[in-house]
Structure 1
Amino acid sequence: MRRAAIVGTGAIAAAHAESLRALGDRVELVAVADVDGERAAAFAKEWGVPRAHPGLAELLRAERLDLVHVCTPPRHHVPIALDCLAADVHVLVEKPPALSLSEVDLLVEAERASAGRVATVFQHRFGPAAIRLRRMAAEGVLGRSLVAKCDTLWYRGDAYFEVPWRGTWDSEGGGPTMGHGIHQFDLLLSILGPWSEIRALAARQARAVQTEDVSMALVTFADGTVASVVNSLLSPRETSELRFDFERATVEVEHLYGYTDAHWAITPAPGHDDVAASWREKPSGVVSGHRWQLAAVLDALDSGEPPPVTLADTRITMEFIAALYASAFTGTVVKAGDIGPDDPFYKSMEGAGAPWADAR
């Protein structure tokens, strides 16, 4: 049985504890760590965890671990992952995994010297419908991909940003592009493959924050697919929507924080009813979520493979984010591969500064 620990016992940690419990015949949650000792102790009591530690150093020193779940505020993700890699422990890190491309590359280098591996939590990749869509697209059942759209239209009021680390470049690395829409467009990228160029805008419309509260992008993919991506925290009717228009069918999903097959719909093009029949084979009631990614991580560890989502996968999504900000803040078209170590958007998603920075 694998031995796991959670670092950071805030809200998202419960999703990890629940997933670990659900897979309890394969993995045991043996400890938690948090700088807030009372919160760590309360979390450990609630979830029946044997031990709580005041920090990562104490955790790594006292426990024999296979996997650490990183559930802290974003600015701590990379330092914690680096310490785990130095101890040859595998890491499952919440989104965003890093604050910049430079931090992702730092993890890549550290991973090369470690027996541990880093996986990013992008749980929407692991719902049965997404897996089916990737398979059907790869097999050519749906024909050529033509058009797509990806909308994360959520609402976060002023009270949400009273938490000190929210809404800042130094703590979160960005606004809804980094912390909210990332799940949906990561799923988009996992299905459509490499993107080639991006035209974007970002704005701070209503919230008293450093970062954007809305962004939009027009994306061209390597296979010629064109797509729109919208990320908002200003939308009272909340929804998460993805739509893929292939030659032979439109496949779409609308949900909020997790989907089942029931949230997906397929509309065949005239003369292609067989495509819809293929889609509807073996329907599933499984809700996309942390449990299914954790199961895939354990499968990979058991077989000696790198756990999904790898740093190579993660870097594609993080480069997309950096390019979106670069395009939005400079008013230029940004191509894949443009953002290298000498580019200001390599070291920070803010680059040389947001257009509204002087108005803070």
Structure 2
Amino acid sequence: MAFKICVVGCGGIAWRGHGPAYRRYAAEHPVTELAACVDIDREKASAFAEEFGFARTYDQVEEALEKERPDAVCLLVPAPYIAASAAAILEKGYPLLMEKPPGVSKEEALQISAAARRSDGSEIPNRVAFNRRYMPIVVQARSLAEQWMDEGRLHHLAYNIGRVGRTDDEDASVTLIHGIDTLRELAGSDYRDIRLRYRKLPHLGAGVTNVALAGEFWSGATFSLNYYPVAGAVYERAELLGENVTLRLKLPFWTSYDSPGSVELWSGNGRIADDEGAAVAGLEEPYVVNGFYEENASFFNALRAGRKPTGGIVTAIQSVEVAEAVYQRATRYTGALIERVEA
């Protein structure tokens, strides 16, 4: 029997990142049915279906789920609609991959988590699509960071985000949350203490603000995270510093001049490795180096094998909580000590 996939939301992120991943996945896994896509704009759903090979279209989620009975649902709607839609789908028992952010507040993230919990205490399979977690260069860096942390050699992590002309008020939930979450992923630890600072730029708009976070993880490593919404270039760069080791990442994504990214390893004041993102990924297509293929394919493969997917809603709650603190312009955040168990 074919593995059936349904997509909810056929907007920009679906077209750029997820659609090409579905098309490739179906081509490489013949017993896969791209069953249906859903969008309130039926013409948009039809165009998406034609481009990426989906069999049917709907404009109502409930109708699609009732008729298709998919094995996996991919929720690709804008941020304000993710929490309610995710909870509704999970409450019906469908395994779910949901775009980020999984709620724009900790309360919404917890609502999703509650919806994913069955009456017997088990969890409906789910994954939050933080694509940076699945970028091949980030996966490679995470492996090195884990080794250094185990050896007590990882001391500090830094992350800088630049955007051009971002004068909206979605700095925390849509953009900055990427840095918040990727630092947690690289550190393999949750935040213990954060000091938050802001520089308002009122001449550019009421909500335009540079944001600076600094603090410590429960692992003991320190960090800094800076967000510049009106910089001169679009970029995301990370640096991991430890005892005689430095790792520098230039993350690839759509409009970044760093794309397709790179990772450099330094020791003894010499560069001992320098890999381009396409070489690490094995392909140069943006949907691959950006992590969209891996986040989808590994989720589907886990479901097919009867394994619990990693990267579930529980792993994302603190990222949402810290982003909410930024949105509320808090100046201090203290995180609870929680055993880091993959969910």
TM bucket (normalised to shorter chain) is 0.7 to 0.9
User: Structure 1-normalised TM-score?
Assistant: 0.78
Offset, 1:277 = 6.6
- Whether the 8 Å contact between 2:161 and 2:226 is mirrored in structure 1 is yes
Q: 2:99 aligns with which of 94, 97, 113?
A: 94
Map residues 191-206 of structure 1 onto 2, 5 A cutoff. Answer: 191-192=186-187, 193-205=189-201
Task: State the AA in 1 paired with 2:266.
Answer: T
Aligned to 1:351: none
Structure 1 partner of 2:305: 303
1:144 alignment counterpart: 153
Shift in Å, 1:208? 4.1
Point out the more displaced range, 240-249 or 36-45. Answer: 36-45
How do residues 261-276 of structure 1 correspond to structure 2 at under 5 angstroms? 263-269=262-268, 276=272
Separation of aligned partners in 1, 2:145 and 2:198: 31
Aligned mate of 1:104, from 106, 109, 127: 109
Q: Is the CA contact (8 Å cut-off) linking 2:215 and 2:223 kept in structure 1?
A: yes
Give 1:143 deviation, angstroms.
4.8
Equivalents in 2 of 1:279, 1:255: separation in Å? 12
**Cα offset for 1:325?**
4.3
Task: Call closer, same or farther: CA 1:79–1:250 in 2, change over 3 Å.
Answer: same
Q: 1:310 to 1:157 in 2, by over 3 A?
A: closer
Q: Could you tell me whether the CA contact under 8 Å between 2:159 and 2:183 is conserved in 1?
A: yes
Letter in 2 for 1:263: S
From the superposition, tell whether residues 279 and 53 of structure 1 become closer, same or farther in structure 2 (CA, over 3 Å). Answer: closer
- Alpha carbons of structure 1 residues 262 and 51: separation in structure 2 relative to 1, 3 Å: closer
| 1:113-262 alignment, distance < 5 Å | 113=118, 116-140=124-148, 143-156=152-165, 167=169, 175-192=170-187, 193-205=189-201, 208=205, 211-257=207-253
Residue 284 of structure 1, CA deviation: 2.2
> Is the 8 Å Cα contact of residues 253 and 259 (structure 2) preserved in structure 1?
no
The match for 1:164 is none
Deviation at 1:296, TM superposition (A): 1.6
Q: Would the aligned equivalents of 2:128 and 2:316 in 1 still touch at CA under 8 Å?
A: yes
Q: 1:310 to 1:102 in 2, by over 3 A?
A: same
CA contact (8 A) 1:251 1:265 kept: yes
User: Tell me, which stretches of 5 or more residues in structure 2 are unaligned?
Assistant: 283-288, 338-343
Determine the structure 2 residue equivalent to 1:358: none
Which residue of 1 is the match for residue 334 of structure 2? 335
Determine the C-alpha separation between the residues in 1 that align with 2:322 and 2:44: 36
The count of residues paired between Structure 1 and Structure 2 equals 315
- The aligned amino acid for 1:102 is E
Q: Quick one: distance in 1 between partners of 2:59 and 2:11? A: 14
State the identity %: 22
TM-score by length of 2: 0.82
Q: From the superposition, tell whether residues 150 and 157 of structure 1 become closer, same or farther in structure 2 (CA, over 3 Å).
A: closer
Query: After alignment, is 245-254 or 316-325 more displaced?
Result: 316-325
Taking only aligned residues, the RMSD between alpha carbons, in angstroms, comes to 2.8
Give the corresponding residue for 1:8.
Answer: 9
Contact 1:154/1:234 (<8 A) preserved: yes
How far residue 37 of structure 1 moved from its aligned partner, in angstroms, is: 1.8
CA distance in 2: counterparts of 1:75 and 1:30, whole angstroms: 26
Instruction: Give the secondary structure class of the aligned counterpart of 1:113.
Output: coil
Note if contact 2:49-2:55 (Cα within 8 Å) is conserved in structure 1.
Answer: yes
Whole-angstrom CA distance in 1 between matches of 2:261 and 2:86: 36
Q: Residue 123 of structure 1 contacts residue 290 of structure 1 at CA under 8 Å; is this kept in 2?
A: yes
Query: How far apart, in 2, do the equivalents of 1:207 and 1:52 lie?
Result: 42
Contact 1:96 1:178 in 2 (8 A): yes
Q: SS in structure 2 opposite 1:241?
A: strand
Match of 1:321 in 2: 323
Deviations, residues 83-135 of structure 1 (Å, cap 9, x unaligned): 21122111111111111101111111111127632211112212333223222
- Distance in 2 separating the partners of 1:300 and 1:37: 31
Residues 176 and 323 in structure 2, CA contact (< 8 A), matched pair in contact too:
no
Structure 2 counterpart of 1:292, one-letter code? E
Q: Determine the C-alpha separation between the residues in 1 that align with 2:132 and 2:225.
A: 16
